[in-house]
Structure 1
Amino acid sequence: MKKLFLLGGLAIVLLAACTSNTRKETSSTQDTTAIATDTVHTSQNSLDWSGTYKGILPCADCPGIETTVVLNANDTFSYMAKYQDRDFKTEDKGKIMWHDNGSVVHLKGQETDLKYKVGENQLIQLDTEGKEITGALSKYYILAKQ
């Protein structure tokens, strides 16, 4: 009788463990599917994108370009770029245009025509075609939110 009771208890424990693992696998699969098909959330409506972003961008004939971009919640921006070791600075203001379903900001001013991919606390500068810059210097085209 004692052995029958132990075997019954062991069977219940094993059955519970199998059921628990099955539930975890199912919910994990469902979570992944939900993330993959999420078309409602974008950088524009999900991230705290407004603020000041700074970084030093690569320069062909100087140590770097100190760059500051301020994105305002009213869809305006200000831009400042100062070339290190030079007495040259450019400033501009304008409107923000959102592209790629709210993941890219296009800064269009009188002298500025730049696109940035908006990420969590960062702006990633894109090339003139709107593609991410690749290569050895790609990590230097990221502006960090201050």
Structure 2
Amino acid sequence: MKHLIFFVFTLILLSACSNDSAKTDQTATDTAITAPVAETKADNSKNALDWAGVYKGTVPCADCEGIETTITIANDSSYVLSLNYLGKKEAAPIEKKGTFSWNAAGNTITLNGITDGANQYLVGENRLIQLDLNGERISGDLAKKYELSKQ
């Protein structure tokens, strides 16, 4: 009789352990299926670079010695643009403020509110590259002169 009781007790114990293991396996499977998949985004200028700061440079000018350009961009998507036309005594420095937006690729900013000149910049490592009025990189001998360096 003792052997029979021991045998039944062992079967109950084994069956209880077996069910817990099955429940644990099923719970792990359910969690893996229903857990949200982390969204992976490729690195771009917006999310991978320390882009906020002050950028300066002198870009070419058709009727002056150059345009001394300073752009301050901030983490809150605001900007301050200062333009000083060199060699033009009658031209007062210009300052514009506003917000900027990123393109879908996260590599170019557009200075909102500027319609009478360059307002798009490719954001690189410690530099802004002024784009032409169509949003394309400027090429040719003067291309390097359209880069603003982070201060």
TM-score surpassing 0.5?
Answer: yes
**Secondary structure in structure 1 of the residue aligned to 2:148:** strand
1:137 aligns with 2:142: yes
**Secondary structure in structure 1 of the residue aligned to 2:82:** strand
Q: Could you tell me how far apart the structure 2 residues matched to 1:110 and 1:53 are?
A: 18
Return 112-121 or 59-68, whichever deviates more. Answer: 112-121
**Secondary structure in structure 1 of the residue aligned to 2:112:** strand
Q: Which amino acid aligns with 1:104?
A: T
Percentage identity across paired residues of the two chains: 42
Q: How does 1:40-51 map to 2 (within 5 A)?
A: 40-51=42-53
| Superposed displacement of residue 128, structure 1 | 1.0
Change (3 A) 1:73 1:82: same
Higher strand share: 1
Contact 2:118 2:130 in 1 (8 A): no
Hey, what does 1:114 align to over in structure 2?
A: 119
**CA shift digits 1:114-135 (9 cap, x unpaired):** 0000000000000111110001
| Superposed displacement of residue 39, structure 1 | 5.2
Q: How does 1:51-130 map to 2 (within 5 A)?
A: 51-86=53-88, 87-88=90-91, 89-109=93-113, 114-130=119-135
Change (3 A) 1:124 1:110: closer
Asked which structure has the greater CA Rg, the reply is: 2
Gapped runs of 5+ residues in structure 2?
Answer: 1-39
Q: Which amino acid aligns with 1:138?
A: A
Contact 2:109 2:121 in 1 (8 A): yes
Root-mean-square deviation (Å): 1.7
TM-score by length of 1: 0.70
| Superposed displacement of residue 109, structure 1 | 2.4
Q: Which amino acid aligns with 1:53?
A: Y
Change (3 A) 1:108 1:135: same
**How many residue pairs get matched?**
109
**CA shift digits 1:84-103 (9 cap, x unpaired):** 01232211011111014110
